[in-house]
Amino acid sequence: MLKLDKVSKTYKTGDKALHNACFEVPAGQVVGLIGPSGAGKSTLIRCINRLVEPTQGSITLGDTELTGLNRRELRRARRRIGMIFQEYALVERLTVMENVLSGRLGYVPAWRSYLRKFSADDIAQAFSLLDRVGLADHYNKRADALSGGQRQRVGIARALEQNPELLLVDEPTASLDPKTSRQIMRLIRTACQERNLPAIINIHDVMLAQQFSDRIIGLKAGEIVFDGAPDALTDEVLTTIYGDEDWTQLRGDNAEQSTDPETPAVDLAEGV
């Protein structure tokens, strides 16, 4: 169980990115977090693992109040929280297997995971996860030799290799074509069901969110303006969330997004 109580974030620039977010996510529930660009979706999920430091409020995972942890405790707690990124955040020059194994350590700088030795159990689990995501034959390939969809599968396997208690997913399909997007969403959803794993998935594609979430939370300018079942997401609600933007274009249409596989990995060490 994840619980957010009155969580707010104001950046140093004065941007009020999130205001008084309150909700609970029970085990096994997949939450689709939707809203226009700049609504605060990334801020919200990054507040949970404190890649962004919340300005106010408390966040609790199981018995642990994440907002009260010191750096060392936070590093340990982050191992319980898997994260999947839009641009995959793989280490390009490492193999698929090495990238998955790095999940064992939570998200730490690459050189550290590279130097670390892994147990036979870790490796067996990584093989089993690669098989699960359909990449068993590719374990020894370098990450930079993979397609976008394959890279995201590695990202999923890496997050699951942590045996997380919570999955945070930031725009997992934004760089993928529509068919691959559905495959990736299905894979995340099934993995959560199999493991009774709660997840929050930021996703701008309303159709995908509806199809693969148990619950939708809608953000607008940092405020939660909708929290309910996917089929309660009426045109009227969507107009509230997306305002004047023509949200009908968001329905299932992400074909024009970039599929550039060369986008650099994000800096995982930020804020640690």
Stretch of 20-28, 30-38, 108-116, 122-130 contacting ligand ADP, by CB under 6 A: 30-38
x/- contact string, 22-41, with Mg ion (CB under 5 A)?
Answer: -------------------x
Q: Residue 214, SS3?
A: coil
Tell me if 261 contacts ligand ADP by CB under 6 A: no
Closest distance of CB 94 from ligand ADP, Å: 28
Tell me if 17 contacts ligand ADP by CB under 6 A: yes
Cα distance between residue 15 and residue 35, in whole Å: 17
Cα distance between residue 5 and residue 84, in whole Å: 24
Stretch of 7-15, 60-68, 140-148, 252-260 contacting ligand ADP, by CB under 6 A: 7-15
Q: How far is CA 39 from CA 34, 217, 222, in A?
A: 9, 12, 5
- How many Å is the Cα radius of gyration of the chain? 18
Closest distance of CB 43 from ligand ADP, Å: 3
Closest CA to 150 of 137, 163, 162, 161: 137
Q: How far is CA 63 from CA 128, 198, 263, in A?
A: 30, 15, 37
Strands 2-10, 56-61: parallel, antiparallel or unpaired by DSSP? antiparallel
x/- contact string, 35-74, with ligand ADP (CB under 6 A)?
Answer: x-xxxxxxx-------------------------------
Tell me if 173 contacts Mg ion by CB under 5 A: no
By the 8 A CB rule, do 8 and 56 touch?
yes
8, 42, 67, 152: residue in contact with Mg ion (rule CB under 5 A): 42
The residue (of 41 and 182) whose beta carbon lies closer to Mg ion is: 41
The residue (of 41 and 50) whose beta carbon lies closer to ligand ADP is: 41
Sites of contact with ligand ADP (CB under 6 A): 11, 13, 15, 17, 35, 37-43
